[in-house]
């Protein structure tokens, strides 16, 4: 007897709960930036204040990000949305983790 696959929305909800659990539930709001985040945010802020653009400033300071363009776009986008408030960045990371888990579950279910 073949079991029915769970509803995609339920799978996504379970993946989102897992992602939030992995990020520490209640600790999420109390988390700050990590020590290696600060130089990136300094570059993003400098570009925003100078009017040259956060992404341009980040790429000028960290040319190796050309090999990881999604990271640079993500950080610039998070900075544009949340500024220097770490909760927004942590929520974006949890949402991306949940989306990746849901996509992986969906792909695995197809096999």
pLDDT single digits (tens) 52-97: 777 888 888 888 888 888 888 888 888 888 888 887 887 787 778 7
Using one digit for the tens of pLDDT, what is the confidence trace for 22-59? 666 555 556 677 777 788 888 888 888 887 777 888 88
Confidence (pTM): 0.62
Among 14, 82, 93, smallest CA distance to 44 is for 82
Higher-pLDDT residue of 106 and 70 is 70
Q: How far is CA 84 from CA 5, 6, 49, 66, 80, in A?
A: 42, 39, 13, 23, 9
Q: What is the predicted pLDDT for the residue at 8?
A: 65
Residue 13's φ and ψ, nearest 5 degrees, are -65, -40
């Amino acid at each position: 007897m073949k079991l029915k696959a769970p509803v995609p929305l339920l799978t996504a909800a379970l993946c989102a709960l897992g992602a939030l659990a992995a990020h520490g539930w209640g600790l999420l709001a109390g988390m700050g930036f990590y020590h290696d985040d600060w130089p990136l945010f300094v570059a993003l802020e400098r570009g925003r204040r100078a009017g040259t653009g956060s992404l341009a400033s980040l790429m000028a300071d960290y040319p190796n990000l050309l090999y990881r363009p999604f990271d640079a776009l993500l950080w610039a986008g998070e900075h544009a949305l949340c500024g220097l408030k770490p909760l927004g960045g942590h929520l974006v990371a949890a949402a991306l983790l949940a989306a990746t888990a849901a996509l992986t579950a969906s792909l695995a279910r197809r096999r």
